[in-house]
Every structure is written in structure tokens, then in C-alpha cells.
Structure 1
């Protein structure tokens, strides 16, 4: 603990060399008592005491490099899920009284791990003196932590660059974040699992999906984190932490391509290379306001990439700019037999929208109405497809059986190597019987036929995820409900092998939501081109 040794000092004379005040101005009574008490609670990670220091109600604010939290409830949820602040010493406090009840305070701190931090706060004397010294509470705060050389929640390895791309090409100047399941020359694959990384060998050649982007001029700036063995859509990693979601502070980033998504959303990369088995590109794209595409199954080679469930695994991309995504798709899918698509006709299914949260359902419905009002569609056709719950069950059994075949032998040989949630998911997968898998495969074939018959060559519109990003401290029940509802949506593309694009077209109070376009197989490039035209029509 690192505040001065007497937390009740309250005059400029006692704090000589630490506190700065305008000449002739006395410090507000008990303000310094409150500042030291707050600092002590922060170092103790006493969430209840810390909560008392922030003003009640919807107007309190706390901001840092990852975003702005507005409202006491959101600030409290952030604190409860953060796990404490790094130990530090306060080295300077500058106070500028505004009124008898308000003061502007900026403090400088020296973290034990090095660097300097800066905290700016607007204090107000309006709370109960039983809760805080003098009744002082914080109305607004901005925290500037020392910039890390590398945020290990986002990156496992970074370079400047890590691998240089071709001197000329459509992606020249594009900085690429590669999910830690692809081979990168001179690096090992870690798959989000430290024990796996420790045994991995250095790769001599890039994975095919990496090579295509390098040949197009992209530069690999780092290997980005992934949920363990890419077996999650939440974005949490028990070994490396949860990548931040700058589009929804306090929310999960979405997984398993969580690292590349956060790198792109935060501006540390222009393009992310990820995998999508169950929605691992589309979900983080939706949660973080990005463009993201799961290509036609098999259109992008997975040579040099770790498998999860080969019948569903795809390699795809995330970007802030749809034109960057289009360039990546064109470069990677050249020669893959791409076809066109009719962007004037689209299909919807009420059951798919009903699977989403109310705000998502109504918000995306308004987006589709806006597109119709701009005469984007000649026709918007209702179609019948299997229920999302049935699609989820089909996907769950067929994917899980494959995941167990891919990794259960390694897991058995490395007890305790995985985080509890991933370990439990693999345990469930290992319990899927051959009879259950056969039944699910038969149901999958029937569902694929039904969806193909219903859609034909028409683009299907649906939510990219069932909700905005859940809070990092969301209950296990809430996370499971979101997972099941979302997988019931993403399974439409997974079961049919069709390309699915998430387009950032909706911003709700809790964060962004993507509209998903599912096109006919082989229409990947045309799907992005169509979405870009629709976005332009909305502007």
C-alpha cells in the first residue's frame, strides 16, 4: 500500500512536496482525507468501499484507454470484474477548487511495475459523511495508465513487424493480427494454452491463409490471443485474460477470435485473420462493431492451422473498414470459383429474429426497414427454416464429437492445462456417443437440405449474435443462454457451409450489433460488395 503514511493529513503544509494548490487557496475540508481513503480502498481492492466513493445514479463517469463507463451501476460492475488495480505510490496531487462543494483533482502515481500514471477526478461534496470522509464523492474520473509495451490480453507476440509482406499488392500498408492457431514463420502456435505453447515447435512456413495475405502485401504485426483451443464464443482466456472491448467497455470481446478482433477494434491492427467454427469471427465482429466474414466452407485453405471441428472450421477476416475486408477476401479467394449474388432480393425468418434479445430484434428490424425505405430491395421475402433451438442441438453434437477427436488425447495427457469452462466443454464433448453423433449428422443433412431449398440463391438476413456483448461479470446462466441462442443463429451458415458476413449497422446503449448476411456458397466477395452498397445507401 502506497499512499503517504498518515491518510488524514489535510493541509498543504503537511503535504509539502506532494500537493499543489493555487497560491493563497486553502484545501477543501476533508478532501484529502477522502482522496487517501479512496486510494487505500483501491489498493485493497475493496469493491464495496470503492463503490461508496462514486456518485450514485446514471451520471457518474469513469473513462480510460478502453472506453467510457457512464452510470454508477456500470462502474461498479467494472470494478467487481477487474480483479484489483496494480500497486502504486501517489507522488503528486494538484487540486483546483471550483466551489465550496466541487474540486478538480489530478494525481500522478508511480506503479510498482514501472512507468507513471495519471488520474483526473471531479470530486463533489454531496454524499453521506458516514460513507466517505466529508461526504466527498467522485462525479467523473479519467485514468491514464502507463502504456504497456504489449497488452498480453490481446497479443502473445508482437514485432515491428513480425513478418514483412510483399512490397506491392492490394494489402500493402495493412497491419495484420494473426490468431494464435495459424503457423507464422519463426513462431510457435500456442492456441491460448500455455502448456500447448511450451511443447510447440517453431514454424518454418506460414499457414496458407497467412501466406495469401502476405503475398498481397499485408504485414504481420503480431500473433493475437484466442480462447483456449478456439472452443468458445465468449472471448475469455483463463491463462492470458480477457481482451478489452473498446466498443462496449465492461463487455466481453467475443471469441474465439477475440485477440484479432480487439487488436483491430482498438486500432492496433487494420485486419485480423481468425477462424470461425461456431461464430468465432461473426460474434466478436458483432460485439465490437467490426466487419467480419466466415467464408464458404473449404474456400480458404486451413493448411498450417490447428483444427477444432473440421466439418465446420473456416478461416476468415475482421476489419474496421469494409473495403479492407473486401481486399482481403479478394486476395485470399482468388481462383476459388467466386460467383455473384442478387443484392436486390433478401429473405428473413421470424424465428431467427425471435431467438435474439428484444433490443437486438427490434433494432435490426429497424435497420432492415431503413434499407427497404431506401429502395435497396426489390423484394424482402419471408422464408421457413428449422428452428434455432433445433439447429443449435444439431451443431452442438456434431461439432462436439469432432472437437473431442481433435483434442481429447492431448487433454487427457495434460490434466489441469485448460481453464475450467473449456475443460468442462471438452468433457461434455468427450461424452457424446457414436449413436448421438450419427443421429445428429442425419438431422444435419436434413436441415441443410431444408435451408438450401428455402433460400436458393437468396441472401438471408439475421442477427449476427443474439445479444450485445454480455458484461464480463455476467452470470454463468446468462452466458450459457446467450451462447445457446447465438449458436442457433450462427449454425445456419455452419450447417450449410454458406458464407456469412457480419456488418456493423446497429448501435444500442449496451454496444454494437451486427446484421448478418448469409449468401449462397461461393458468393463471399459478392456478399461484401453487396453489403458495402447497402451501407452507402444508408448514408
Structure 2
């Protein structure tokens, strides 16, 4: 397969069997190089991890479930180093190229899976989402991106970053295959109760006004009750982001402490710096952050208790160019985490999708209560009129 987008890891091809028939028959599957696949190493975007990996003897159960449903494996994909970035770069294996706009970053950390799907090299991109690593590259590449309810999918044989937030997730070019994937991995069908959409004013006020207006107009096109609210939480977005980053950095350090201590020179400086920040956190800081997460999760449970979904912008600002300065990447990451952290802190499901018939590349998201994943596809269909 020609891969001028640098979506895939440069591994020799190995035959990975799949069922000849099934609900995903005919769909090509690209797998982020955090999941074990028999016959392949697992590098997690790091050369030292690759060198120590060896060839895996067994396939991650989630990947196997997709193969058993008929999906055809086409390769393991590039990822940001240790899945610890939202940009899409990698000093060891290079940055995949965004097929929609080669001047822009592809987004990460599921960069290769997003690019493979956007370039038409795969139909299903399997990735992971901790702080937005499915939703952000999906938005930048014009894809559907699904962050499942936390804990709902099998995460064995998947390299961890921050277990409190890590989830496997998927990207597709349209809603139909996404719904098929959800069904194949065991997500319950949507119920037929009336659904209402909340539009939180404080969140939409943080983005460009013209883009916010297009999003809200698109939401209003759905034949569903819509209600504006001031806010979804008693906490500010900034305070929620600080709590999220505190927990993320602490757990990322714990997940990668051994690698850092054994081969610090094998980790890119920006990734190493974030790991070190996690190592320096005090226990009281982490306890306080977890307390905020618990309170916020309770607020969201009460808000979404009556078949309600919340509409959100997927991204806080436009993606930077791939040759931007590190300060631009840091500003983009910081701004986007304020929106992307909401589903991580609450454990709720989120679906990102591009708005059709609008100027530019605009991605809207729906945040739903735990286990309402397929309901989000139904609502997205009404908004997109698919």
C-alpha cells in the first residue's frame, strides 16, 4: 500500500486473519500502535519501547473482536510519542500529513489512524482518547470521532497513559460505519425516548462568534427540543482543565516512570518535561484534583439524567500549521483541553462530527450520559440530515 501520508508504522506486512463475513465485512481497519497485534511489535511511538517490545504473540481482545466481526486489518498506525500529545508529531517516526490540508498538523495522539481514514487508506481508525486523542484529530481531518463511555470497551493489551481517562476509540468518514462499529463492540441500541439538546452559553462564548453561530444554526435544524443554559457546571473551564491535567500528569508519570528512569534520552524533550511535571506533583494536589473530578461527574450525571445531550464545539480554536513554533502548539493544546477534558472528567461518551454545508472545517460534538453512545449517533444524524 502506498503511504505518502506517513500514516502507518514501517513494519513488514504480517497476515492477520479476519472473519469472512460479519457486520464489519469489507471495512478496512487501521490500528494505533498502542494495541498489541499478533506478529507485530508495539512501539507506542517510542524507539526504546519498540526495541524492547519483541513480536507480540496475541492480539488485543478489542482488535480481535473487530476482526471477528469481519474487519480487515491493514496496518498499525503512527502515534504521538507515548500517546502523550495532541499535536501529531513524533521525533522518532515523523509527523503524519493531514490529507485535508497538508500545511496543518494532523492532530494526535491517534494521528496515524485519523490520517489513514481521511486519506481513504482505511475505513475504521482504531485509536485511543485520553485528553482528546480521538476527537481532536477527527475534527482536524474532517472525520467522525467517538470517545466511548469510560470503561465500556476492553482495554487489555493496550498500553496505558492515564487509566482514569484512557479509552479506546474510533474514527470513520461517516456515521453509518461508526454505528456499525458501535454495534459490533457491544454498545446497546439507542432507546426511543424523546431527546433534548442543551447549548451551554459559557462554552460557546469561548470560540469565534461566527463559528458558534453556524454551530447553533446547525443544531436548530434538528427536529428536537433545544434549550440554552448558562453553564454545565459550577466549576470554571479553567479549574476543570487544571484538575484534569493534574490527574493526567500524575498517572502519565506512573505509567512511564520505568521507561524514563531507564532511558530518559530516548524520550523527546517536550514529552519528558511533561512526565517530570507529573513526578513533582504533591499528593494533596492530586487528591484535590480527584475531588473536583468527582464533584463535576456528579453535576454532569444530574444534568444528563433525563435523555439530554450537551452540544459542544470540539475544538477551542483553529489548528496550527505543522511548522508552527512550539509556543503555538502549547497554546493550542492548552485551549483545546479546556473543552476536551469534560468527557474525561465525567466518564461520559462524546461524539465529534463535521457540520455539513458550512464554510470551512467545523466540528461539533455531542456529550451524552454514560452508555448512551449510540444515541449520540442518532442525534448527529438529525443534525447532519444523513
Question: Does the alignment pair 1:513 with 2:366?
Answer: no
Structure 1 residue 298 and structure 2 residue 147: aligned?
no
Give the deviation of 1:377 after TM superposition: 2.1
* Counterpart in the other structure of 1:178: 31
Matching of residue 377 in structure 1 with residue 230 in structure 2: no
CA contact (8 A) 1:338 1:522 kept: no
Q: Which residue of 2 aligns with 1:474?
A: 324
2:67, 2:350 → 1: CA distance? 24
SS at 1:500 equivalent = strand
8 Å contact kept, 1:341–1:527: no
State the TM-score, normalizing by the size of structure 2: 0.94
Where do 1:9-28 residues align within 5 Å?
none
2: CA distance between counterparts of 1:355 and 1:452? Answer: 24
Equivalents in 1 of 2:222, 2:251: separation in Å? 44
SS in structure 1 of the partner of residue 171 of structure 2: strand
What is the match of residue 35 of structure 1?
Answer: none
User: Aligned-pair distance for 1:337?
Assistant: 5.0
The residue that corresponds to 2:351 in the other structure is 501
Aligned counterpart, 1:166? 19
> In structure 2, which of residues 245, 248, 263 is the aligned counterpart of residue 396 of structure 1?
245
CA contact (8 A) 1:234 1:255 kept: yes
Report the CA distance shift for 1:428/1:532 in structure 2 as closer, same or farther (over 3 A).
Answer: same
Alpha-carbon separation, structure 1, partners of 2:358 and 2:146: 22
Q: CA RMSD in A?
A: 2.0
Structure possessing the higher relative contact order (Cα contacts under 8 Å, 6 or more residues apart): 2
**Aligned match of 2:273:** 424
Unmatched runs of 5 consecutive residues or more in structure 2: none
Contact 1:344 1:376 in 2 (8 A): no
Q: Helix, strand or coil: the match of 2:312?
A: strand
CA deviation map 1:163-214 (0-9, x unaligned): 2321000111111110000010111100000111011022122112101110
The structure-2 alpha-carbon separation of the partners of 1:341 and 1:506, relative to structure 1 and needing over 3 Å to count, comes to same
**1:268 has 2:117 as partner:** no
Q: Measured at CA, do residues 440 and 499 of structure 1 come closer, stay the same or move farther in structure 2, by a change above 3 Å?
A: same
Shift of 1:339: 5.0
Q: In the aligned structure 2, how far is the partner of 1:341 from the partner of 1:436?
A: 43
Superposed displacement of residue 338, structure 1: 5.5
TM-fit CA distance, 1:262? 0.4
For 1:480 and 1:183, the matched residues in 2 are separated by 30
Preserved contact between residue 149 and residue 371 of structure 2 (Cα < 8 Å): yes
Task: After TM superposition, give the deviation of residue 159 of structure 1 in Å.
Answer: 6.8
Counterpart-to-counterpart distance in 1, 2:339 and 2:237: 6
Structure 2 CA distance, aligned partners of 1:389 and 1:498? 19
Counterpart position of 2:130: 277
Cα deviation per residue 1:463-522 (whole Å; 9 max; x = unaligned)?
A: 11112321112232322222112111011111111000001116887x523100001110
Q: Is the 8 A contact 2:161 2:251 kept in 1?
A: yes
Asked whether the 8 Å contact 1:342–1:458 carries over to 2, the reply is no
Output the CA distance in 2 between the equivalents of 1:367 and 1:417.
43
1:368 aligns with 2:238: no
| 1:452 shift after superposition | 2.4
Separation (CA, whole Å) in 2 of partners of 1:220 and 1:443: 41
8 Å CA contact 1:401–1:432 kept in 2: the answer is: yes
Q: Among residues 310, 326, 333, which one is paired with 2:163 in the alignment?
A: 310
1:289 corresponds to: 142
Change (3 A) 1:211 1:520: same
* 1:536 and 2:385 aligned: yes
Alpha carbons of structure 1 residues 278 and 507: separation in structure 2 relative to 1, 3 Å: farther
Q: What is the CA distance between 1:528 and its match in structure 2?
A: 1.3
Q: Distance in 1 between matches of 2:122 and 2:20?
A: 18
The whole-number CA distance in structure 1 between the counterparts of 2:356 and 2:318 is 10
Pairing 1:222–2:75 present: yes
**1:149–1:423 CA distance, 2 compared to 1 (3 A):** same
Once residues 238 and 210 of structure 2 are traced to their aligned partners in structure 1, the CA distance between those partners, rounded to angstroms, is 20
Distance 1:320 1:367 in 2: 19
Look up the match of 1:248: 101
1:522 is aligned to 371
Please give the alpha-carbon distance, in whole angstroms, between the structure 2 residues aligned to 1:245 and 1:365: 27
Structure 1 position 378, deviation (Å): 2.1
Alpha-carbon distance between aligned partners in 2 of 1:355 and 1:343, rounded to the nearest angstrom: 29
Count of matched residue pairs:
383
Q: TM-score, normalised by structure 1?
A: 0.68
CA contact under 8 A between 2:316 and 2:335: conserved in structure 1?
A: yes
Q: Given the alignment of the two structures, is residue 257 of structure 1 paired with residue 83 of structure 2, yes or no? A: no
Quote the Cα distance in structure 2 between the aligned partners of 1:375 and 1:421: 43
Q: Is the 8 A contact 2:14 2:40 kept in 1?
A: no
Aligned with 2:289 (options 432, 437, 440) = 440
Report the CA distance shift for 1:343/1:421 in structure 2 as closer, same or farther (over 3 A): farther
CA contact (8 A) 2:44 2:50 kept: yes
How many angstroms does 1:414 deviate by? 0.5
Task: Name the CA distance, whole Å, in 2 between partners of 1:297 and 1:520.
Answer: 11
Contact 2:7 2:113 in 1 (8 A): yes
**Structure 2 residue matching 1:243: 3-state secondary structure:** coil
